Each structure stands twice: as C-alpha cells, then as structure tokens.
C-alpha cells in the first residue's frame, strides 16, 4: 500500500478489514421503524498507521454528514458521565494559576453542557466563556450564565468574537468527527494567534481501548479519525502545540490530552502503539459470540439493549441484522424515547415503558454505566438480568 498516515506521514498503513456499511448518523432518531431502517448509510473502511497508531476511515465523505441543530448527542443524562465531565472541568480549572481570571474557549461546545460545568467548578473565576458549534440551537452569541455560544466554526475569521484572549481552550469529542485532524488543530492554533499562552485540552475516544477490548461496536461512520495516545500527541505537535501530555480517562475509553501554545516542547514518547492487524477475525468472533448470547437469552424471554447511543446503534446493526432477537432499546434521554434507531429501526423506550414489556435480559452497551443502570432499572420495576457488553 502506498498510502501515507495523515498524522505522522508514516507509510506503513494496514487495512483493518473488509469495508462494511453503517448508518451515517448514529445519534439521530426516527419517527417510525421503517424510517429508521431506511436511514442513510455510509461505508466503514478503516486503516491504521503502524508507526503512530492513528486509525481512520478511508471511505469517509464529509459531505454526507451534516451537523445541524437536529443533531442529538447529549450523554449528560447519565450520572457517571456527569461525574466524568466534572473531573475534566476540575483538571482545566486547577491548571489556571489562582488569582488569574479564566477566559474559556470551547471548540465543538454542543449545547454548552461542559461550559456550564466549567462555570460551576470555577465559581466566580470565569471572566469569559465562549463556545463555537455549528449544532448550537440557541440564539447566536447567547448561552447560559453569560456565556457566548456561536453557531459557527472557530477559525481565524471568527476569533474576533472572543472578548478576551483565552487561557483555557477545550475541544471534547469533536476531533474524531474531522477527516483532517491536523488541519483542524492547526486552524485552532492559528486562530489563537502567535502570542497566545493558552493551554489546550482535547478529549476523544482511544482506539487502543477499542482494539484491546475488541469493541467492534465502537467503529462509527461519524468517528472518521481515531487516535492512540501517540498519534494524538503527534497531531498536536504537528499543529504547533507544545509539550503534549496524554492520559486515559473514563475507564480508559477516552484520551485526555493537554498541550501548550507557547513554551518548550517535550520529547515524543517512544512507546510503540499496539500491533494493528486485520480485524476481520475479531469482528467475526464478536458477532458470533453476541449472536449466540442473544439467541440463548431470547429463548428465555424478551431481549432489550440499554443505551440508544452510537454503541447501541452499531451493536444492533452488527448482531441482529434480521431484527428478530432484540425487542427494544432502553434509554434515559427523553429526546430519544418514543423514537426509532437508525439501522435496526428498534423502538427506544423509557425504563418505565420497558418494564411493561418485562424484558428477561438487558444487554448494557457501556459497562461504565452498569451501576446506575442497575439502580434505574430497579426503580422502574425491571426485574430482568443486566449483562454488560465487555
Ligand atoms: Zn501515523
């Protein structure tokens, strides 16, 4: 293969398996099962760089994925996820020297949930909080508690909207949606200006976690760029940020990188990323394993999934293509309840509605949520057993 890695430029690139198709938008819900099953699909054709571990979808077509105000991607209904956001906000605020006001910028701020978290943790220290996101649903320039949220991309042309030069810049769960991640970070770096002394934090899924855990349901069309710790540090350096330090958070599922606009650089980590081989066999084993689990559970009663997010969408597409094993999906996000998933067309129910169908087994999409899922299920009167996908 003569392809080059878009992050490190290495030319040892390996295909991760045969191309397959998946719904384009994993977080959109539909008004009927038919509309869900007819949802537009795109091709997953992932390749990995053997040098830095960056993994990307070579078949990705950005023109097929539109992030508009209909985009629903709010995980903040989960207490475990809120705890995680709180911990990240504490990381950011603790890094700004006491006595210095916080001028906060978020790129890809969604509906401003994390900005609210930052304001909460910082108390009165936030002097300005500005967010940019093409999916922002509120009035342009108006967010909660004095923050300013813009339905725009952050780039040199929109940087003039910042009331103060930011000292804390965060971009969470955004870079994996971008087909040119180095270009994305370079745009942020240049929009901040040559004299910026800001720190930047980047949060994104860890592809090493996905591969080590054989989490085949974690490859999505929207996530066209997946990082290892090494490749995220490399992308930050290439974009002009200095001294990147990457840690694992959220039970290892996410990378959390911190880097600087100014100062000295550090030495790149010499740690080799995991071996990348074809995932063809892993994917086949994954599908066979969970199909046999679901068939056995189906013999004993109604089978449901817990979690109508991207993992639930891809799991149901991979494991139940004939729509005869899974009855419904439970989700605590009211914006999804009463609607139907893309791909499988499965109905999304509240825990209380699910209890009426008396599920015998519920497969829980994210093991990080198992404790709160157990509690919510019990309160809703669900007596079936809960099995985490891990
Ligand atoms: Zn590379």
Dist. CA 44–CA 36, nearest whole Å: 19
Query: How much distance in Å is there from the Cα of 180 to the middle of ligand 1?
Result: 13
Full domain range(s) for residue 364:
280-388
**pLDDT in the model for residue 68:** 67
Dist. CA 318–CA 344, nearest whole Å: 9
**pLDDT in the model for residue 268:** 77
Tokens (6 digits) for 148: 């300013």
Helix, strand, coil percentages, rounded to 5, for the chain: 35, 25, 45
Intervals of the chain under pLDDT 50: 1
pLDDT digits over 7-24, tens only? 999 988 999 888 999 999
Tokens (6 digits) for 26: 């994993």
Is there a contact between 48 and 55 (Cβ–Cβ < 8 Å)? yes
- Tell me the residue ranges of DSSP E strands in the chain: 13-15, 20-23, 41-44, 46-49, 55-57, 102-107, 126-132, 148-150, 168-172, 199-205, 225-226, 242-249, 254-260, 302-306, 328-330, 347-349, 359-364, 385-388
**pLDDT in the model for residue 65:** 86
| 3 domain-assigned | no
Helix, strand or coil, per DSSP, at residue 142: coil
Query: How much distance in Å is there from the Cα of 389 to the middle of ligand 1?
Result: 30
Query: How much distance in Å is there from the Cα of 27 to the middle of ligand 1?
Result: 29
Query: How much distance in Å is there from the Cα of 37 to the middle of ligand 1?
Result: 36
Residues 6+ apart with CB under 8 A from 127: 101, 102, 103, 164
Residues 6+ apart with CB under 8 A from 226: 46, 54, 55, 56, 176, 204, 205, 207, 210
Query: How much distance in Å is there from the Cα of 52 to the middle of ligand 1?
Result: 4
Is there a contact between 298 and 325 (Cβ–Cβ < 8 Å)? yes
Is there a contact between 153 and 134 (Cβ–Cβ < 8 Å)? yes
Residues 6+ apart with CB under 8 A from 89: 114, 117, 118, 120, 121, 122
Tokens (6 digits) for 162: 């910042």
| DSSP code, position 217 | G
**pLDDT in the model for residue 1:** 46
| 133 domain-assigned | no
**pLDDT in the model for residue 76:** 65
Residues 6+ apart with CB under 8 A from 54: 5, 6, 7, 8, 48, 225, 226, 227, 228, 231, 234, 235
| 343 domain-assigned | yes
Query: How much distance in Å is there from the Cα of 55 to the middle of ligand 1?
Result: 8
Query: How much distance in Å is there from the Cα of 95 to the middle of ligand 1?
Result: 30
Tokens (6 digits) for 264: 């000295």
Query: How much distance in Å is there from the Cα of 278 to the middle of ligand 1?
Result: 17
Query: How much distance in Å is there from the Cα of 234 to the middle of ligand 1?
Result: 8
Is there a contact between 201 and 258 (Cβ–Cβ < 8 Å)? yes
Query: How much distance in Å is there from the Cα of 316 to the middle of ligand 1?
Result: 32
- Number of residues that this document lists for the chain: 390
Tokens (6 digits) for 136: 């922002």
Any bridge partners for residue 172, and if so which? Answer: 203
Q: H helices then E strands: how many in the chain? A: 10, 18
Query: How much distance in Å is there from the Cα of 236 to the middle of ligand 1?
Result: 13
| 274 domain-assigned | no
Count Cα atoms within 13 angstroms, Cβ side, for 262: 9
Tokens (6 digits) for 85: 């956001």
CATH of the domain at 361: 3.40.50.720
Sheet holding 302-306, edge to edge: 347-349, 328-330, 302-306, 359-364, 385-388
Query: How much distance in Å is there from the Cα of 285 to the middle of ligand 1?
Result: 28
| 154 domain-assigned | no
Dist. CA 326–CA 340, nearest whole Å: 13
| 352 domain-assigned | yes
Number of domains in the chain: 1
**pLDDT in the model for residue 26:** 86
| 33 domain-assigned | no
| 231 domain-assigned | no
């Amino acid at each position: 293969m003569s392809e080059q890695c878009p992050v490190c430029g290495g030319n040892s690139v390996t295909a991760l398996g045969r191309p397959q198709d998946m719904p384009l938008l994993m977080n959109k819900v539909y008004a009927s099962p038919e509309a869900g099953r007819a949802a537009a699909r795109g091709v997953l054709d992932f390749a990995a760089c053997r040098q830095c571990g960056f993994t990307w979808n070579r078949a990705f077509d950005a023109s097929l994925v539109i992030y508009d105000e209909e985009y629903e991607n709010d995980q903040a209904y989960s207490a475990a996820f809120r705890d995680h956001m709180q911990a990240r906000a504490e990381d950011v605020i603790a890094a700004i020297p006491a006595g210095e006001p916080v001028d906060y910028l978020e790129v890809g701020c969604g509906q401003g949930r994390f900005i609210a978290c930052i304001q909460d943790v910082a108390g009165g220290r936030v002097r300005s909080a500005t967010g940019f996101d093409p999916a922002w649903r509120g009035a342009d320039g108006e967010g909660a508690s004095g923050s300013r949220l813009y339905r725009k991309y952050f780039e040199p042309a929109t940087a003039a909207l910042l009331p103060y030069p930011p000292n804390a810049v965060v971009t969470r769960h955004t870079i994996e949606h971008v087909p040119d991640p180095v270009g994305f970070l370079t745009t942020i770096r240049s929009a901040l200006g040559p004299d910026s002394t800001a720190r930047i934090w980047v949060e994104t899924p860890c592809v090493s976690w996905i591969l080590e855990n054989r989490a085949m349901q974690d490859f999505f069309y929207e996530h066209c760029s997946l990082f290892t710790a090494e490749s995220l540090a490399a992308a930050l350096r290439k974009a002009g940020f200095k001294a990147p330090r990457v840690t694992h958070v959220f039970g290892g599922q996410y990378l959390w990188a911190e880097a600087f606009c100014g100062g000295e650089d550090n030495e790149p980590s010499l740690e080799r990323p995991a071996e990348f081989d074809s995932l063809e066999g892993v994917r086949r084993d994954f599908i066979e394993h969970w199909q046999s689990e679901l068939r056995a559970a189906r013999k004993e009663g109604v089978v449901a999934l817990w979690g109508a997010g991207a993992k639930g969408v891809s799991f149901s597409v991979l494991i139940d293509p004939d729509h005869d094993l899974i009855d419904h999906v439970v989700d605590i996000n009211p914006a999804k309840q009463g609607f139907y998933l893309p791909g499988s067309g499965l109905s999304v129910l509240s825990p209380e509605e699910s209890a009426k169908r008396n599920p015998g087994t519920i497969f829980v999409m994210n093991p990080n949520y198992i404790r709160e899922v157990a509690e919510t299920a019990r309160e809703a009167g669900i007596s079936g057993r809960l099995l985490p996908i891990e």
